[in-house]
Amino acid sequence: MIYDLVIIGGGPAASAAAVYAARKKLKSVIIAEAFGGQSTVSPDIQNWIGTVSISGEKLASDLRAHVQAYAEGTLDIVEGSRAKTVDKTGNHSVITLENGVHYESKTVLIATGSERRKLTVPGAAEFEHKGLTYCASCDGPLFSDMDVAVIGGGNAGFETAAQLLAYCKSVTLFDKGEHFKADPITMEKVLADPKMHALPNTELLAVKGEGMVTTLSYRDKTTNEEHELPVGGIFVEIGQVPSTDIVANLVERNQWNHIKIDPRTQQTTARGIWAAGDCTDVLYHQNNIAVGDAVRAVEDIYLSLFK
């Protein structure tokens, strides 16, 4: 069987696309590793339009429920599997999952979003989930009354520090740059806390521990001196990387590996492949933007199938 549309992803973009595709009666399948996307970990989202305040978990279950409402029609839902490759065969695409199952389709929408950028210094991988974490809202309270470090001096780093200051003994924030990049108002508030220490212009050297993290070693780039800081937890907030490797050989990407799209239509540089949301090279990445972009993509896919 050949689908009209395969949607890859499970965040706001893919969920919106699935609902729109089903309502247009496109024979479609959504391949979602999980529903919800990046902000699932957020305790409180206050800009999901039409809802004053919603937890990330509730947003994820709402997205899933909205897609599931169309499960009896022309939409197939494959949850818990990851698409591994996308290949072109003539006018169609073949999408193969990690479990080997494959789907043939006239069109594809890539809505794979992005993932946390990982810390790569020695010890970082070894101590992940053993004191080193990428999610303050999930794990922060486990570090009550401890000395902790935050890596990254952008908004995410400072917001994480603000959250941790409520219950940790001290928070030391590291950034490789000479100047922090967070909003001035957030920085001022966080830096005014006596439990807060900030170390710009530092290079991380290693994460150390015994079973759990105990120490972060770093170099002060101003003095070139190396130091060790005893910490019970390390919270990493050094940005996102788009999840676009599955189409690396098919579509053009920018220098950060975001998929290049035509912003009028969401079409990529490969015929029959569209992309929407955080995996694309649009300048702003937000839940509402991802949803709108995906809707635009499905409108354009629909036109392309029936013209």
Name residue 274's beta-bridge partners: 109, 267
Counting contacts by CB under 6 A, is residue 83 touching ligand FAD? yes
Least distance in angstroms from the C-beta of 301 to ligand FAD: 16
* Among residues 29, 157, 277, 300, the one that binds ligand FAD under rule CB under 6 A: 277
Burial pattern 35-44, b for ≥16 Cβ within 10 A else e, equals bbbbbbbbee
* Among residues 13, 21, 270, 275, the one that binds ligand FAD under rule CB under 6 A: 13
Tokens 């699935």 sit on residue: 18
Number of residues that bind ligand FAD (CB under 6 A): 33
Site residues for ligand FAD, 215-244, by CB under 6 A, read 243
Select from 26-34, 178-186, 222-230, 249-257 the region that touches ligand FAD (CB under 6 A): 26-34
CA distance 36 to 45: 13
Nearest to 112 by CA among 243, 304, 268: 243
Of 175 and 237, which CB lies nearer to ligand FAD in the complex structure? 237
* Among residues 10, 140, 152, 272, the one that binds ligand FAD under rule CB under 6 A: 10
Of 10 and 152, which CB lies nearer to ligand FAD in the complex structure? 10
* Helices assigned H by DSSP within the chain: 12-23, 56-68, 136-139, 155-165, 184-191, 287-306
Of 178 and 262, which CB lies nearer to ligand FAD in the complex structure? 262
CA distance 97 to 84: 5
Least distance in angstroms from the C-beta of 294 to ligand FAD: 7
* Among residues 24, 82, 117, 197, the one that binds ligand FAD under rule CB under 6 A: 82
Least distance in angstroms from the C-beta of 39 to ligand FAD: 3
CA distance readout (Å), 97 to 75, 85, 101, 228: 18, 7, 5, 44
> 6 with 112: CB under 8 angstroms?
no
Counting contacts by CB under 6 A, is residue 275 touching ligand FAD? no
For β-strands 147-151 and 170-174, DSSP reports them as parallel
> Which residue has the CB atom at the shortest distance from ligand FAD?
113
Least distance in angstroms from the C-beta of 286 to ligand FAD: 3
Q: Which phi and psi (to 5°) does residue 264 adopt?
A: -80, -30
Counting contacts by CB under 6 A, is residue 140 touching ligand FAD? no
> 251 with 64: CB under 8 angstroms?
no
Interface ranges with ligand FAD (CB under 6 A):
8-14, 31-34, 37-39, 41-42, 45, 47, 82-83, 111-114, 243, 246, 277-278, 285-288, 290
